[in-house]
């Protein structure tokens, strides 16, 4: 390939010219052996001019995607649910013509880029994962759930771009690959929408603080998220409780629930319902820790196994286990 200067090319095309020159040199010499000065010389611009367009050598490959990821970050930052995140993923394809990244993926071995692409791809996966995980935590997800879901979406985007490049970026649609990846991620890790309320927190005054804390944290199994102390021995502990919702019911509905869930029991004005994996086992564990059983476990018409107890701090509890449809 020619090594002559391309100084005659218009300034407006210098970014594309630098990318073309870099890819030529990567194929000729390998990525590691190619310097920024050589890329600038091949493109016909000064070394200092290189940095007007790219922050580093690797930026030549990733700048186009990074610009679209900035748009993606902004798109999912405000109340985005699964459909919005999937739309933002598909939006990455907008105006994304085959570029140096696609060429590098196809010719990674010849360019000596395998390790470099793996390293930089992991950075983009992590960036997407952080953005999606932050959205999930805003929606009330615990950190583990949010991080795992974020990793699924980050992996989906990078995998789609790699598959698009290897399938022939100039012949096929990136949006098609991103749509397929988004569909897979949506099934694996759905993203709930966020309204004006970011978190539901139930505040309970506990006369016997230590017993109440042990009951809900250690016996029931609600992980401790935060703890604070103030002057005069004031204490507060915040426990994780999975997804939070507010169920509003009129008097007729409450009476119906009492009929289904108990043998003549009456609901408190505020009753705390907790979804668990095994209602009977958790109810037995809580009873052993001092809870009073108000209604033993029974199957409801909507296929959940419910039990009602009086827990620590005088909270009326409903434990429910979703059974799914009858087989």
Q: Predicted confidence band at 250 (pLDDT cuts at 50, 70, 90)?
A: very high
Strand ranges across the sheet with 304-310: 272-275, 316-322, 304-310, 292-299
The whole-number pLDDT of residue 194 equals 59
Quick check: helix, strand or coil at residue 306? strand
Q: Predicted confidence band at 4 (pLDDT cuts at 50, 70, 90)?
A: very low
The whole-number pLDDT of residue 198 equals 65
- How long, in residues, is the chain? 327
Mean pLDDT, residues 226-252:
90
For the chain, give the mean pLDDT. 89
Task: State yes or no: pLDDT of 263 exceeds 50.
Answer: yes
The whole-number pLDDT of residue 11 equals 43
Enter the pTM of the model: 0.59
The whole-number pLDDT of residue 61 equals 94
Task: State yes or no: pLDDT of 13 exceeds 70.
Answer: no
Mean pLDDT, residues 61-79:
89
Task: State yes or no: pLDDT of 155 exceeds 90.
Answer: yes
The whole-number pLDDT of residue 6 equals 45
Task: State yes or no: pLDDT of 162 exceeds 60.
Answer: yes
Angle at 45 between CA 41 and CA 51, to 5 degrees: 105
The whole-number pLDDT of residue 224 equals 92
Quick check: helix, strand or coil at residue 74? helix
Name the strand (E) or helix (H) holding 57: none
Alpha helix (H) ranges present in 56-142?
59-76, 82-91, 100-106, 108-111, 114-138
Q: How far apart (Å, rounded) are the C-alpha atoms in residues 292 and 286?
A: 8
- Exposed, middle or buried by CB within 10 Å (0-12, 13-18, 19+), for 176? middle
Task: State yes or no: pLDDT of 309 exceeds 70.
Answer: yes
Percent of the chain with pLDDT over 70: 92
Q: What is the CA radius of gyration of the chain?
A: 28
Mean pLDDT, residues 223-245:
89
Query: Ranked by mean pLDDT, which of 11-25, 116-130, 131-145 comes out on top?
Result: 116-130
């Amino acid at each position: 390939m020619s090594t002559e200067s391309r100084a005659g090319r218009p300034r407006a095309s210098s970014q594309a010219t630098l990318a073309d020159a870099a890819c030529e040199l990567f194929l000729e010499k390998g990525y590691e052996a190619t310097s920024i000065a050589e890329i600038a010389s091949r493109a016909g611009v000064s070394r200092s001019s290189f940095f007007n367009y790219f922050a580093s050598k690797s930026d030549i490959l990733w700048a186009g995607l990074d610009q679209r990821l900035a748009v993606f970050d902004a798109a999912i930052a405000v109340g985005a649910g699964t459909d919005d995140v999937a739309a933002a993923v598909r939006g990455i394809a907008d105006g994304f013509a085959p570029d140096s990244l696609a060429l590098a993926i196809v010719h990674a071995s010849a360019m000596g880029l395998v390790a470099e692409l793996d390293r930089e791809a992991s950075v983009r996966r992590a960036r997407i994962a952080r953005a999606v995980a932050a959205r999930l935590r805003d929606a009330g997800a615990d950190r583990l759930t949010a991080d795992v879901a974020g990793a699924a979406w980050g992996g989906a985007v990078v995998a789609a771009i790699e598959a698009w490049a290897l399938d022939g970026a100039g012949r096929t649609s990136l949006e098609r690959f991103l749509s397929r990846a988004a569909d897979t991620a949506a099934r694996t890790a759905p993203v709930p929408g966020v309204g004006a309320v970011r978190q539901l927190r139930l505040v309970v005054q506990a006369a016997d603080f230590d017993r109440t804390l042990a009951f809900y944290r250690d016996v029931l199994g609600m992980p401790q998220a935060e703890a604070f102390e103030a002057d005069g021995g004031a204490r507060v502990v915040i426990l994780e409780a999975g997804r939070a919702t507010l169920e509003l019911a009129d008097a007729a509905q409450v009476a119906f629930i009492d009929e289904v869930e108990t043998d003549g029991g009456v609901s408190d004005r505020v009753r705390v319902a907790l979804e668990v994996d095994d209602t009977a086992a958790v109810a037995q564990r809580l009873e052993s820790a001092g809870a009073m059983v108000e209604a033993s476990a029974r199957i409801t018409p909507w296929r959940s196994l419910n039990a009602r107890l009086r827990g620590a701090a005088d909270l009326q509890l409903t434990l429910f286990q979703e059974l799914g449809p009858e087989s």
